[in-house]
Amino acid sequence: MSNNTVTSYTPAEFSLTDSAVEHFASNLDGHLMKA
């Protein structure tokens, strides 16, 4: 049961992390461009 929960929770975590990284990279790029 624990394994099943982890498996179904992993995709959401990865997706959220990917989105956060992309957002952070985009913001960083914008700051570098302005500077």
In this predicted model, what pLDDT tens digit does every residue of 3-20 receive, in sequence order? Answer: 555 555 566 666 677 888
pTM over 0.75: no
Instruction: Tell me which H or E stretch contains 18.
Output: helix 2-34
Distance (Å, rounded) from C-alpha 19 to C-alpha 25? 10
Q: Is the pLDDT of residue 1 over 80?
A: no
CA angle 23, 27, 28 (to 5 degrees): 115
